[in-house]
């Protein structure tokens, strides 16, 4: 009886061993099942792949390059455009042609007489002969400072102590053509030479010859910088008053 039980036990052990061996062999032959990425357990604190994809900003497209343009140079002279008329600024009409006079017989007799007296005094070579023509007080001829003696002022302007040079200049100025300035106003006067009212750029060749009888080429070059005649001039009012004998613009 005991032999039969032992034989049964031995068969059971062998069957169990065979069964385990079969299972082990099957597990070796069958590959483990692959898990999808979504089935993998996420580690705490780790960002998922989907979240990473959302956090990554979309790649910006590079801005289109604008072709470089070379700026045009500014005009040498900037003239602001005037689109709205300014009522506070009066539009100045273009200056009309200057009427150059030469016939002293057609001017007021008082003017012609004063010119004649000045020419006679200057031609004498005695500068004191100009004194009675220069006037006194409010009507004194403008030659420099108001309170100064006019004859001494003229001598100081001359290149010699006797004032001979200034007398020669006075004669030359009165030998040119003349113009009527400030017509119809209290400042109206006949002015010698006519260059005072004409831009130097507008002078004709014959007029330049007249000018060079009064000034040198160097003087003329300096005048061109300002554009105007700035040598001596004589003014006589319509009533025959010798108003001024001055130099400058």
pLDDT in tens, 203-235: 999 999 999 999 999 999 999 998 899 999 999
Domains in the chain, number: 1
For the CA atoms of the chain, what is the radius of gyration?
57
Residue 193, domain member (yes or no): yes
* Cis check: omega of the bond before 193, within 30 degrees of 0: yes
Section 96-125 average pLDDT: 94
Confidence of residue 157 (pLDDT cuts 50, 70, 90): very high
Least trusted range by pLDDT, from 34-38, 47-51, 164-168: 34-38
Q: What is the mean pLDDT of the chain?
A: 77
Q: How confident is the model over 91-107, as a mean pLDDT?
A: 76
Grade residue 21 by pLDDT with cuts at 50, 70 and 90. low
Asked whether residue 215 is assigned to any structural domain, the reply reads no
SS (H, E, C) the chain: CHHHHHHHHHHHHHHHHHHHHHHHHHHHHCCCCCCCHHHCCCCCCCCCHHHHHHHCCCCCCCCCCCCCCCCCCCCCCCCCCCCCCCCCCCCCCCCCCCCCECCHHHCCHHHHHHHHHHHHHHHHCCHHHHHHHHCCHHHCCECCCCCCCHHHHHHHHCCCCCCHHHHHHHHHHHCCCEEEECCCCCCCEEEECHHHHCCHHHCCHHHHHHHHCCCCHHHHHHHHHHCCCCCCEEEECCCCCEEEEECCC
pTM of the complete model: 0.62
Q: Which residue's entry shows tokens 């602001």?
A: 80
- At 61 the pLDDT is 59
Give the pLDDT of residue 116: 97
Q: Sorting pLDDT into bands at 50, 70 and 90, what band is 93?
A: very low
With respect to residue 154, please indicate whether it lies within any of the assigned structural domains: yes
Strand partners, 192: 234
Q: Higher pLDDT residue, 206 or 89? A: 206
Q: Which of the residue ranges 26-30, 99-103, 115-119, 122-126 would you say has the lowest mean pLDDT?
A: 26-30
Q: What is the pLDDT of residues 169-200, one digit of tens each?
A: 999 999 999 999 999 999 999 999 999 999 99
Residue with tokens 């604190």, as numbered in its chain: 45
Domain that holds residue 158: 104-198+232-246
What does the pLDDT read at residue 79?
A: 36
Q: At what angle do helices 164-174 and 109-124 cross, to 10 degrees?
A: 150
Which pLDDT score is estimated for 38? 47
Token code pair at residue 190: 């006949």
pLDDT greater than 90 at residue 249: no
Mean pLDDT of 91-97: 54
Answer yes or no: is 52 within a domain. no
- With a cut of 90, say whether residue 8 has pLDDT above it: no
**pLDDT value for 137:** 87
Q: Cα(109)–Cα(190) distance, rounded to whole angstroms? A: 12
92 domain residue, yes or no: no
Structure tokens belonging to residue 12: 């059971």
Lowest mean pLDDT among 26-30, 79-83, 181-185, 196-200: 79-83
Instruction: Tell me if 240 is assigned to some domain.
Output: yes
Domain membership flag for residue 172: yes
Place of tokens 């057609």: 106
**Poorest-pLDDT segment among 25-29, 80-84, 170-174:** 80-84
**Residue 95 belongs to some domain of the structure:** no
Distance CA 181, CA 188 (A): 6
The pLDDT value recorded for residue 7 is: 54
């Amino acid at each position: 009886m005991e032999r039969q039980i032992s034989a049964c036990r031995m068969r059971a052990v062998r069957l169990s061993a065979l069964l385990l061996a079969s299972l082990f062999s099957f597990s070796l032959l069958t590959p483990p099942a692959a898990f999808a990425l979504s089935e993998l357990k996420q580690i705490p604190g780790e960002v998922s792949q989907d979240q990473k994809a959302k956090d990554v900003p979309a790649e910006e497209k590079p801005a289109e390059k604008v072709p470089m343009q070379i700026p045009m140079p500014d005009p040498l002279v900037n003239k602001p455009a005037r689109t709205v008329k300014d009522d506070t600024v009066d539009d100045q009409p273009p200056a009309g042609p200057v009427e150059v006079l030469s016939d002293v017989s057609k001017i007021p007799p008082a003017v012609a007489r004063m010119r004649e007296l000045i020419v006679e005094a200057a031609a004498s070579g005695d500068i004191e002969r100009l004194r009675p023509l220069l006037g006194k007080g409010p009507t004194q001829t403008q030659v420099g400072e108001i309170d100064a003696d006019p004859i001494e002022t003229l001598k100081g302007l001359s290149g010699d102590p006797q004032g001979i040079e200034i007398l020669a200049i006075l004669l030359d100025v009165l030998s040119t053509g003349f113009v009527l300035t400030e017509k119809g106003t209290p400042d109206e006067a006949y002015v010698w030479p006519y260059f005072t009212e004409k831009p130097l750029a507008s002078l004709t060749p014959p007029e330049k010859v007249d000018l060079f009888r009064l000034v040198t080429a160097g003087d003329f070059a300096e005048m061109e910088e300002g554009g105007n005649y700035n040598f001596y001039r004589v003014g006589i009012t319509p009533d025959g008053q010798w108003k001024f004998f001055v130099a400058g613009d």
